[in-house]
Amino acid sequence: MRVTAHAKINLTLDVVGEEGGYHALDSLVATIALGDRIVARARTDGRVFVTMHGMGSERIPAGRNNAALAAERFFAAFGGGGADVTVYKRIPIGGGLGGSSADAAGVLNALAKLYAIADMGALKTVADGLGSDTGYLLTGGYARMQGRGERITPLEGLPALHLLIACPRRGVSTPKCFRTYDEQGKTYPPCTERVRAAFAAGDAAGAAGMLGNHLFAAAAACEPGVAEAASALRALAPLGVNMTGSGSASYAVFASAAEADAAARRVQGFRIIRTSTFPLPSVGGKERR
């Protein structure tokens, strides 16, 4: 069974409080055409093997490999004869693009298809135990994600967005970013609801100009490349620029595919990914360095 595990971007990310010792979030999210490829083959001896390829994933310790943990928890929950799972990575690690969660969700989806598991509620319960984005990434699309990420409200009718993602050379640790956010002690006005309202009113350009992320200053303090990437994108005069997740990647939104393609040729010093919110088959997550 072969599936694509799509990356995501946060169109907004508001830190709105605390729930059970974790930061509570209110975020508009969207999957993008860029994704990792998951291949799962059934076994009959009950054993599970997960192999990672690309983006330095071979260096991730087994205990920190969310794809392997997803496979283990799938069989613990649903049973089955085991599997060989291979993950071919294209989503940069440590960029805030949800790569680890996407892989976990992709493994769950692949194994569910392989073993004919149709109970999406039970599958989401397993996914929610693997990371804040994993339950959402089982289905992806546009959505409002609240709490620790377990409360998902799908959003319909939003337009495809043409994106240019700039990835600094170093990633940002999510726990370190949240610690820095707490240490900074700053508060920011929420933007999720007004961006959602602008999209709902058909004003995609206006919505793009209001994107925001409460973690930006903390991520920039952790890694200088965060602010440099955002600044390089703003110089291209897009509709809007925002950081995704806890960084380190930022993205720019353009009014058309042609404008995004032209802008991609002007950026230097970062890994640049030209993509779109998913699906838009004509783009498909092309990358250059």
Peptide bond into 92 cis (omega under 30): no
* Residue 260: C-alpha distances to residues 8, 214, 236, 238, 283 (Å): 18, 26, 9, 8, 11
Residue 176 CB contacts under 8 Å (≥ 6 apart), including other chains: 222
Distance (Å, whole) CA 52 – CA 243: 27
The pLDDT tens digits of the residues spanning 115-172 come to 999 999 999 999 999 988 999 999 999 999 999 888 999 999 899 999 999 999 999 9
* Residue 175: C-alpha distances to residues 50, 72, 129, 253 (Å): 25, 24, 17, 27
Strand order in the sheet with 240-243: 240-243, 250-254, 162-167, 271-276, 286-288
Distance (Å, whole) CA 278 – CA 7: 9
> What are 200's two structure tokens?
């709902």
Q: Percent of the chain beyond pLDDT 70?
A: 94
What is the maximum alpha-carbon separation in the chain?
57
Give the residue numbers marked as catalytic: 8, 133
pLDDT at position 61: 60
DSSP string for residues in 50-108: EEEESTTGGGS-GGG-HHHHHHHHHHHHH--S-EEEEEE--SPTTSSS-HHHHHHHHHH
Q: Is the pLDDT of residue 289 over 70?
A: no
pLDDT at position 131: 86
> Binning pLDDT at 50, 70 and 90, where does residue 62 land?
low
Q: Is the pLDDT of residue 82 over 90?
A: yes
pLDDT at position 209: 97
Distance (Å, whole) CA 142 – CA 160: 10
Q: Determine the average pLDDT of the residues in 6-20.
A: 95
Pick the CATH number of 162-288 from 3.30.70.890, 3.40.50.300, 3.30.1370.100, 3.30.465.10: 3.30.70.890
Distance (Å, whole) CA 50 – CA 264: 35
Mean pLDDT of the chain: 93
> In which element (H, E) is residue 271 found?
strand 271-276
Contacts within 8 Å (CB) and 24+ apart, 206-209: 207/11, 207/240, 208/161, 208/238, 208/239, 208/240, 208/253, 209/239, 209/240
Distance (Å, whole) CA 140 – CA 146: 14
CATH code for residues 2-154: 3.30.230.10
The pLDDT tens digits of the residues spanning 229-264 come to 999 999 999 999 999 999 999 999 999 999 999 999
pLDDT at position 20: 83
Residue 250 CB contacts under 8 Å (≥ 6 apart), including other chains: 165, 166, 226, 229, 230, 233, 241, 242, 243, 244
What residue spans in the chain does CATH classification 3.30.230.10 cover?
2-154
What residue spans in the chain does CATH classification 3.30.70.890 cover?
162-288
Distance (Å, whole) CA 156 – CA 151: 16
Answer whether 113's CB lies under 8 Å from 73's CB: no
Distance (Å, whole) CA 157 – CA 221: 36
The pLDDT tens digits of the residues spanning 51-60 come to 999 887 776 6
